[in-house]
């Protein structure tokens, strides 16, 4: 059961990192060590379940946004429901994500592992559906 990942970093070289692992516990380490936490986007999926995907974005001081597609439903991490109308550019070319969708890095890394092991959103994280975003809000999946 190979877990695949692709990350696009916002460093000066716009570095891309991709690969795979058979160990779900390795994914949080790969995310942390990839450089994506300093700024970037990416996604993760299981080769056996490519329809179940986790999309992520990191912004320096905000933490991480996670968007999960599982069983045909989209789930968005929610850190602050009062801050969903304000968006931040996570790539530098108007790739916008609602500020309120960001959660602490430690929580996000645990949720990434949970997804890698179960293919589902981590019940320890507050999740919302895209239709719960205000008109000015935005996300990526």
Tens digit of each residue's pLDDT (9 = 90 or more) over 9-65: 888 888 898 988 888 888 888 888 888 888 888 999 888 887 889 999 998 789 999
**Distance, CA of 100 to CA of 117 (rounded, Å):** 26
Phi, psi of 38 (to 5 degrees): -80, -5
Of residues 99 and 140, the one with the higher pLDDT is 99
pTM: 0.91
pLDDT of amino acid 91: 74
**Sign of the four-CA dihedral 45, 70, 111, 48:** negative
Residue with tokens 């599982």: 70
**Distance, CA of 22 to CA of 69 (rounded, Å):** 21
pLDDT of amino acid 1: 52
Q: 69: which strand partners?
A: 53, 74
pLDDT of amino acid 110: 95
Q: Residues 93-122: pLDDT tens digits?
A: 777 899 999 999 999 999 999 999 988 999
**Distance, CA of 77 to CA of 97 (rounded, Å):** 11
């Amino acid at each position: 059961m190979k877990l695949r990942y692709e990350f696009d970093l916002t460093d000066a070289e716009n570095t891309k990192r991709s690969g795979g692992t058979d160990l779900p516990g390795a994914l949080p380490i790969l995310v942390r060590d990839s450089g994506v936490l300093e700024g970037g986007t990416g996604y993760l999926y299981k080769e056996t379940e490519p329809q179940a995907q986790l999309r992520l974005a990191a912004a320096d001081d905000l933490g991480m946004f996670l968007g999960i597609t599982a069983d045909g439903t989209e789930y968005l991490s929610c850190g602050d429901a009062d801050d969903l109308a304000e968006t931040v550019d996570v790539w530098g070319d108007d790739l916008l994500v609602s500020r309120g969708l960001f959660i602490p890095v430690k929580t996000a890394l645990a949720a990434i592992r949970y997804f890698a092991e179960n293919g589902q959103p981590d019940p320890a994280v507050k999740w919302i559906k895209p239709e719960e975003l205000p008109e000015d809000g935005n996300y990526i999946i």
